[in-house]
Structure 1
Amino acid sequence: MADLEALQYPIGRFSSGNSYTFEQTQEHIAAIAVFPHNLTELVGKWGDNRLDTPYRPGGWTVRQLVHHVADSHMNAYIRTKLALTETVPTIKPYDETEWAKLPDSRLSIAPSLVILSNLHQRWVAVLDPLTDEQLQRTYFHPESQKEFTLSEVLANYAWHCEHHYQHAYQLALRNQWV
């Protein structure tokens, strides 16, 4: 069996505390823009057997993973808008593990794929015209007791997109589904 760390972090862990150039942030926005299409292409036609397969031992199922990404990115979109309209707002953390246990995590993935497609369209519409100065706006995360710039947040969410895409893709490779 593959190393558990590699299964959990197929592209490695996100490295926080970095600064990003305007050009790097534009690449992160582009990654966020294409993610819903890529994810839908990969898992959109999978049946229940595949969707209810955990991507790693002790991990979420692909179904839970898709719903998690929708939950996470909805929060990220709201946090982005807060950072752009308030001075260092304190964001509301949430327990993603508990959210993944709620009844909506057992629904078809179709609603979450539609949410992601529409949400990312709106999110990118907010992000595309931002200046470098606006990308330096921050919010405060009370769990880590840190301020995060939007440029770092976008790097994190570009990573988050690829991180979870690779969970599903690597599972598909291991099971010869692709």
Structure 2
Amino acid sequence: MLEPRCPMSFDAATRKTFLRRYAEGPALLRRAWAEVPAEARTWRPAAGKWSAHEVVVHCADSETYSAIRIRLLLAEPEPLIVGYDENAWAQRFDYHASDPELAIHLVETVRAHTSALLERLPEEAWGRMGRHTQSGAYGTDDWLRSYGEHLEIHAAQIQRNLAAWRNR
């Protein structure tokens, strides 16, 4: 039986760019967090919006789950990628009670470990497909696109929070 392949796989140059972005993401997150004064870290820009602290802890939860997702896609014959409600996690796990420095360290460690794995993969490992419970067909390049920019998006969110806190 042939493994299902992603119909819109990245070319090698695009994949390399996303792998670089993926590897550089933790440094962006750490820099954005370091710019936020202690008194602004748990401030929320609006009802229902996350504080910088919550963003950082979300990144740690997301990172640990993303590491499992890519391994499922690479190793299992018919991987099922289960979605989750990130807002429910933030509330249920009381993100403000979590240590944000520990969360950033976790992001850095998991990213470094997964980056090393991804850099060792042969070309034929890419393009594998699974199914995501919320979005349907989901492959290795979908994963890389999403997580290659995930920490960039959240570093920018922290920067927007800081700007809003300063302008309040």
1:124 aligns with 2:115: yes
Structure of higher RCO (CA pairs closer than 8 Å, 6+ residues apart):
2
Q: Secondary structure at the match of 1:74?
A: helix
- 1:103–1:140 distance in 2 versus 1, CA, 3 Å: closer
Which residue among 122, 125, 130 is the counterpart of 1:139?
130
Per the TM alignment, residue 159 of structure 1 is displaced from its structure 2 partner at its CA by 2.1
Q: What SS does the aligned partner of 1:54 have? A: coil
Pairwise CA distance, 1:174 = 4.5
Contact 1:55-1:62 within 8 A present in 2 as well: no
TM-score by length of 2: 0.84
State the SS of the aligned residue for 1:143: coil
Runs of 5+ unmatched residues, structure 1: 1-16
Question: 2:102 aligns to what?
Answer: 111
Whether 2:49 is the aligned partner of 1:59: answer: yes
In structure 2, give the amino acid aligned to 1:88. Answer: E
| Cα pair 2:29 2:152 within 8 Å, conserved | no
Alpha-carbon distance in 2 for matches of 1:55, 1:163: 16
Give the CA deviation at 1:37: 1.6
Aligned identity (percent) is 22
- Determine helix, strand or coil for the equivalent of 2:77: coil
State the 1:61 CA deviation.
0.8
Partner of 1:20, secondary structure, is coil
Match of residue 31, structure 1, among 11, 14, 21? 21
Distance 2:43 2:8 in 1: 35
Query: In 2, are the aligned partners of 1:54 and 1:60 still within 8 Å (CA)?
Result: yes
Task: Give the SS at the match of 2:120.
Answer: coil
The residue identity in structure 2 corresponding to 1:131 is: P
Higher helix share: 2
Count of paired positions: 160
Q: Deviations over 1:81-105 (max 9, x none)?
A: 1111111211222221111013451
CA distance in 1: counterparts of 2:13 and 2:115, whole angstroms: 15
d(CA) in 1 for partners of 2:140, 2:150: 15
1:151 corresponds to: 141
